[in-house]
Amino acid sequence: QSVLTQPPSVSAASGQRVTISCSGSSSNIGNNFVSWYQQLPGTAPKLLIYDNNKRPSGIPDRFSGSKSGTSATLGITGLQAGDEADYFCGTWDTRLSAYVFGTGTEVTVL
Partner 1 sequence: QVQLVQSGAEVKRPGSSVTVSCKTSGGIFRSFAINWVRQAPGQGLEWMGGIIPIFGTPIYAQKFQGRVTITADEFTNTAYMELTSLRSEESVVYFCAKSLYYSGSGTPSGGMDVWGQGTTVTVS
Query: For partner 1, which residue of 18, 24, 29, 35 counts as binding (CB under 8 A)?
Result: 35
Using the contact rule CB under 8 A, the part of the chain among 16-24, 72-80, 97-105 near partner 1 is: 97-105
| 75 class by beta-carbon count within 10 Å (0-12 exposed, 13-18 middle, 19+ buried) | middle
Among 19, 33, 63, 70, binds partner 1 (CB under 8 A): 33
**CB neighbour list of residue 55: distance below 8 Å, 6 or more residues apart:** 48, 49, 61, 63, 64
The residue among 13 and 43 lying less far from partner 1, judged by its C-beta, is 43
Q: List interacting residues with partner 1 (CB under 8 A).
A: 2, 32-33, 35, 37, 44-47, 49-51, 56, 88, 90-92, 96-104
